[in-house]
Structure 1
Amino acid sequence: MLVTWVCVYVPERPEEQSVADRHLEIEQKYDAAADFVLPNLDGLPGVAALGEPEVHELHATYFDTPDLRLAANRITLRRRRGGTDAGWHLKMPAGPDSKQELRAPLGRPLVVPARLAGLVAVHTRGAELSPVATLETRRTVVRLLAADGAELAEVADDLVTGRGLDAEPQRWREVEVELGSGPPELLKAAGKRLRKSGAKRAKSSSKLGRLLGDAVVPSASAAARSAARSRIAAATCNGKAPAITTGEVVMAYLAEQVEAIVNFDPKARLGEHDAVHKMRVAVRRTRSALRSYRPVLDTGRTVPLGPELRWLAQELGEVRDREVLRMRFQGAPEFLLDDLEKQERSAYRRLDASLKEPRYFALLDALDALIADPPLAAAAGKKARKELPGLVTRAWDRMAEEYASIKTAADPDVARHETRKEAKRVRYAAELAVPVLGVAAKRVVKEATRIQSVLGGYQDGVIAMEHLAAAAKRTRVPAEAFTLGVMYGKEQCAAETSRDRLATTWSQTLGPSF
């Protein structure tokens, strides 16, 4: 199992996070019988010596909501005493075989550090975090060393006693092999030797998961998301896409976007690279799908979601706009970058506050309900192969109307901005249809993306010019004003170039052809 560790000591803002340790951990777990004897580990690839066995007594209390929402999402939050890393540990999935761990000092026994609690708020949504299990572990560690003393791997032999709420204690033994600086072959060879001695690959990826067992039940929304993905994947892989209904395709896409919002929430709170952008895109895709595919869904339930999704996108957008400007102005004078960084920090603080609001949690609940109990309308039952082309074409026609209005609009920039938004909707509508319509839908995605990119280049230039003009009004240093003026001129030239490319780009598009 690959585990990425990121240890954060309760920072106040994303940019203040003190990363004490960050490394990619490669680990495999094995179940072992009570009488299992750890085999001789000499002779493994690269191993020149074995460290003296070290024994640690570990006591961990695990926290979750009463209905085990964290465990249902493969998240563990614990307070552990003993060993070399005592403190609060939060582990969150970061991929099929990876986890991100964040740590905080021991603090108070029953008070979850606010920062860690915030990182799982997308799941808890205001529900209280309290102890749900304890684990007592007697751990014997043997380090596998290279000739120069470097730690190639660590083998931990654990005797575990676990107690869940209102349950009898469970006792078991397991062995973990964690790769250090050694090669992957060492992990494989160590595992082979353990299996020959009677150990078996662990059925559960965590001790808590093994302890709680069937008490952990996926949410209705999570189950529905999984079912929707499986249905589309099975149909497209087996060449049965024509049998898929429009409702199934739309709900699978929406399920994917809702899952992305949930997954990127903690990353956005941490200020991880591009996380805010990706979360915002998922929000926009959701809102766009609800609009483009209105005939498929009951508008009585979907229309109220529009303003809430727009609000969330705006909250994320405030941070994203500052991120884009900061990246755009790389190499700019320090005074300008300092100003942008201050604005970005303020925007992150406001975003963090918004992601703790009941309004946000209510939106998440509504999206879960949408996936768990789809509000399907009459068109949902029609075959996707026949219904999707018309819906994608309709989105394209709306974009074409906005584009045509640029020449006659009182404010062409407003019309360009509206055209860009419609281009995004076309792109997302076509993305949704790709599993069924294939190459034809991919071409629409490509063409809509080109139009969006050209208009985006113009829009980004305009925003940059506005920011530079505002910064120029605040400075009293002639050299700074001159520099800002030069930068403004470059942005204006780039924006006008993008604007002038629009007609050529549009003339090269063919539009939907299904």
Structure 2
Amino acid sequence: MPTRVRETERKYEAPADFALPDLTAAEPVHTTSGPVRSELDATYFDTADLRLARAGITLRRRTGGSDAGWHAKLPVAPDVRDEIRVPLGRAKTRVPEDLAVLVRAHTLGAPLAPVVRITTERHEWELKDADGGTIALLADDRVTAHPVDDEPHAWRELEVEATDRDVLAAVGAVLGAQPAQSTSKLAQALGDRAKTTRRPDLPTDPTAADVALDYLRAQAAALRAHDTGVRLDTDDAVHQFRVAARRLRSALRSFRPLLDRDRVNALRVELKWLAGEAAVARDTEVLTGELQAELAALPTENVLGPVSAHLTAELGRAAANGRTQVLSAVDSDRYLALLTDLDAFLTAPPWTKRATRPAARELRKPIRKAWRALAASVAAVDATTNPTDRDSALHQARKDAKKARYTAEAVAPVFGAKLDTWRKHIKSAQKPLGLHQDAVVARTTLRDIGVRAYLSGDNAFTYGLLHARQDARAARAETEFTREWKRLRRARAPRWLR
């Protein structure tokens, strides 16, 4: 079973004659212990074209030290990475399946093979506070890299690891060493070949193609980043994964006039499928939190029978089914084909002539279109009196509000603060629509569970009470939406949007 450790660390360059300073000069450090010497021997694995390294991911088999094993290091934020660990086992050249699947969205099934062996002589100190607690680790590493296709080379580096960023900064300031240009030993060993792929800055006067490609690449990267969280069952990962798929699909619709329509439509079909496969897991996550909170808010005398146990069992089964569904999706050949097609699309976009026009002129059109669609869906709500039809109309307005917000996000670099203010008003109007839809789904679920409880001989009173509370919640959300919609209509927006 893999284990996960979050590492917050900074690396520093150190020449051979670098002398470590007195580390107790760092304000939080009162004493040090060490050094403890260890010999580390790591073999790093990647695809032939170094896809993992270029994504900032390292995958290695390491012996020596207190954490010998197979490790996958995944970027989280600057200076922060999650390390996923698997025991060594017998295999030396075959990556454990538990780790291979974590990076599948990057490798796309390409073989993983050794690319470099790195040996390290490590001297490590524990840095302690006034109470004797360890607040940081300092490693002084003498490193030798043996690339499979190049000459060996050696260097010295320092690593400071701490969970508190203030401690990290204080120790780094006392060290007085130059921050390392490479984020990992692998990156240092392979040089420019392993350079992390970064999005280029937009030009001063971008074309529509510049803006579209920048946003599409960002969302494709987000999809891959959250793929790992989905597989590890990280909090909110399914939600963010689904959002990335939806944003990609929405952007492809907004930018469709700039690109080959058939290829755009084909990708949108697959992204709709992917978001749908994550729907049950995400919706159940939201529903579980809401219903358990509502149940906890009821007076105990109004909770008749094993309601909590029934909700836990029913929603637990739904959550398990949803997780199975989303994992089956990301493990499927169809998903790999989608990622492969998306890479090819973004590497050589099939632009139309309109893509070469100035973004400031061409990208007003998708915003206007999204705004008109939202206004029409809200008008449809106002024209509907049947409760069931009204729920559907409000749900459509929610989807159109989300599309308008995503479109505004996609073109934000062009139109600046005024459009961003408008986007925030759209988001404020969308939020109560989301709460309304959550209440609609909760009512249906409560009725179904309540009926099953009644037929099994339990008292269904509490389910009816919870159902009524969701009715009230939906009504409050609709009232809030009406207020936010009026604010949106009065909000300042670019003149061309009206």
TM-score range, shorter chain: 0.7 to 0.9
2:405 match: 427
Inter-CA distance 207–268: structure 2 relative to 1 (3 Å threshold): same
Query: Do structure 1's residue 394 and structure 2's residue 365 form an aligned pair?
Result: no
Which residues in structure 2 correspond to 1:35-434 (within 5 Å)? Answer: 35-38=17-20, 41=23, 45=27, 47-107=29-89, 108-146=91-129, 148-179=131-162, 183-184=167-168, 186-192=170-176, 195=177, 200-216=178-194, 222=197, 226-227=199-200, 230-231=201-202, 235=204, 243-331=205-293, 332=295, 333-406=308-381, 407=383, 411-434=389-412
8 Å Cα contact 1:403-1:416 kept in structure 2: yes
Counterpart residue type for residue 497 of structure 1 = R
- How far is 1:340 from its partner? 1.5
User: Which residue number corresponds to residue 496 of structure 1?
Assistant: 475
Contact 1:44 1:186 survives alignment (8 Å): yes
Shift of 1:502: 4.9
1:256 to 1:186, Cα distance in 2 relative to 1, 3 A: closer
Aligned partners of 1:494 and 1:386: how far apart in 2?
42
250-259 vs 483-492, which deviates more? 250-259
Shift of 1:104: 1.2
Given that residues 110 and 130 in structure 1 are in contact (C-alpha distance below 8 angstroms), is that contact kept between their aligned partners in structure 2?
yes
Alpha-carbon contact 2:12-2:158 (below 8 Å) kept:
yes
What is the alpha-carbon root mean square deviation over aligned residues? 2.7
Amino acid corresponding to residue 71 of structure 1 in structure 2: A
For 1:409 and 1:72, the matched residues in 2 are separated by 55
Pick which of 157-166 and 492-501 moved more. 492-501
Change (3 A) 1:48 1:353: same
Deviation string 1:161-206 (CA, Å, 9 cap, x unpaired) is 22111322222332333347893464135412xx4xxxx4433221
Residues 164 and 211 in structure 1, CA contact (< 8 A), matched pair in contact too: yes
- Determine if contact 1:424/1:449 at 8 Å carries over to the other structure: yes
The alignment of Structure 1 onto Structure 2 pairs a total of residues equal to 474
Moved more, 66-75 or 343-352: 343-352
Q: TM-score, normalised by structure 2?
A: 0.87
Superposed displacement of residue 396, structure 1:
1.6
Query: Taking structure 1 as the reference length, what is the TM-score of the superposition?
Result: 0.84
Shift of residue 159 of structure 1?
A: 2.3
Structure 2 CA distance for partners of 1:473 and 1:479, relative to 1, 3 Å: closer
Amino acid at match of 2:192: D
1:260/1:279 contact within 8 Å kept: yes
The Cα of 1:440 is off from its aligned counterpart by 3.6
Q: Which moved more, 1:495-504 or 1:296-305?
A: 495-504
Distance in 2 of aligned mates of 1:505 and 1:493:
18
Mark the runs of 5 or more structure 2 residues left unpaired by the alignment. 296-307
Deviates more, 1:292-301 or 1:74-83: 292-301
Percent same amino acid among aligned pairs? 38
Aligned to 1:239: none
Letter in 1 for 2:334: R
Distance 1:504 1:64 in 2: 54
Residue identity in the other structure for 1:362: A
- Return the alpha-carbon distance in structure 2 between the equivalents of residues 42 and 373 of structure 1: 54
- How many Å separate the matches in 1 of 2:125 and 2:418? 58
Over 3 Å counting, the alpha-carbon distance change for 1:431 and 1:176 in structure 2 is closer
